[in-house]
Structure 1
């Protein structure tokens, strides 16, 4: 098994760049993940190119033996360089991007989540995880959304993007119009000019798309107008709005069985 002891090794430098640079991840069709649990989860849906791990980590997580042919041993100092956190988890994976396409989601998806300019990686990751948990079969991301395969998003989603089709769209309102053209009902989450969630239809024979906006601004007028209806989550007067990840997760749970 190959062993890397230098923090200046070219493979280590490249892995660190993958961790930090979205342009490189997109250009090379690869992404970087940290942690044994996350890497094992991602390997269920994505092709693992290389696993970097310390001897201690391999001994602690015997399930990683399944990737022995793709494993490179690293020393503790090298692991610390690879880590994007203060405390290294000593296991790192370089994976091939699953290559989801928006066209497939738009043509075949029945329960879809669409996000508009949701910038926080934690919120995007939370929503991807909730979409997978509640049986949604695709996620569309507008410009300005946090990248689904960035390390912080991956940690928050626990690798959901590796199993659930997630793809960017250049023009979200246009994408919503495409969905509506084939009968998918698009529901915008909005505070104003909206109906309480429990007044929304309960049957969606041709499909449903829940549309969530950015943390600070919500949905643009163009996105709301491209939807069939705007809905809001009933709340007490003590709170005006919910975090995007929480609000979206409530909607996804509400429509889990449609």
Structure 2
């Protein structure tokens, strides 16, 4: 079997562009993933378009054969790698495109606003998948769900959960409330302790989370039914968005 040995190979250069450019990923409807475990997990829910792997990676993980990868030399893998140590496996996947109509039927929803850190967004996607949520809304200012860093943090959850981008989060929340979905904002001020929020939400629930530094905008908080906070000791001022959001997602899990 032929092996790509040139770091200037057109396909390799194209994959690197997708790895580094959110604009290119959006335009092409593709995303770049790296590592055998992550790529095999994503292949369960996303369509692989092109795959590359080293001979060593193929020997270590025979299941990669299902992705039909093109073999690459180790120095080519080093160019493709977005991490310090290459795992020798790289796949371009088609981005899932969930229908906007899912907004009309979802009953357990996570909404994010201004969560810029890819690690936090990935953690929250992973927690939402773990606790039975059926839709994620990304408002303005959020890290891209299919960036390499977010994918690594989510361990492929972005491929399993429908993710919708919304330009006007307050208006979207008002629409959810109109069909009976309770919207709970996370906020430190003018909020109730988490235990006072209740547990019964027969028409559905949307947990709304902002960044650690800025929190939610006033308009988004006003669009929600209730603001809640996680009770903490005075030894810690706040939790990061990934941790705080995961606590709330567990509290209102759909199990």
- Give the aligned partner of residue 181 of structure 2: 184
- Give the aligned partner of residue 70 of structure 2: 72
2:156 and 2:121 map into 1 onto residues whose CA distance is: 12
Kindly state the Cα deviation for residue 2 of structure 1 after the two structures are TM-superposed: 4.4
- Give the aligned partner of residue 139 of structure 1: 136
- Give the aligned partner of residue 30 of structure 1: 30
Does the Cα contact within 8 Å between 2:133 and 2:254 map onto a contact in 1? Answer: no
Does structure 1 residue 118 correspond to structure 2 residue 111? no
- Give the aligned partner of residue 94 of structure 2: 96
Does the Cα contact within 8 Å between 1:116 and 1:142 map onto a contact in 2? Answer: yes
Kindly state the Cα deviation for residue 228 of structure 1 after the two structures are TM-superposed: 0.2
Of 153, 178, 194, which aligns to 1:156?
153
Does the Cα contact within 8 Å between 1:106 and 1:178 map onto a contact in 2? Answer: no
Structure 1 SS opposite 2:164: strand
Does structure 1 residue 208 correspond to structure 2 residue 208? no
Aligned length: 255
Q: Deviations over 1:175-204 (max 9, x none)?
A: 101110100000000000001000012101
Kindly state the Cα deviation for residue 143 of structure 1 after the two structures are TM-superposed: 1.3
1:218 and 1:105 map into 2 onto residues whose CA distance is: 26
**TM-score between both structures, scaled by the size of structure 2:** 0.98
Kindly state the Cα deviation for residue 100 of structure 1 after the two structures are TM-superposed: 2.1
Structure 2 SS opposite 1:148: coil
1:227 and 1:120 map into 2 onto residues whose CA distance is: 24
Q: Deviations over 1:9-63 (max 9, x none)?
A: 0100000000000011001100000000000000000000111000000000011
Q: Deviations over 1:82-111 (max 9, x none)?
A: 00111101000000011124x233211100
**TM-score between both structures, scaled by the size of structure 1:** 0.97
Structure 1: unaligned runs, 5 residues or longer: none
2:90 and 2:120 map into 1 onto residues whose CA distance is: 23
Q: Which runs of 4+ in 1 moved over 6 A?
A: none
Structure 2 SS opposite 1:179: helix
Structure 2: unaligned runs, 5 residues or longer: none
Of 214, 218, 222, which aligns to 2:215?
218
Does the Cα contact within 8 Å between 1:119 and 1:215 map onto a contact in 2? Answer: no
Structure 2 SS opposite 1:95: strand
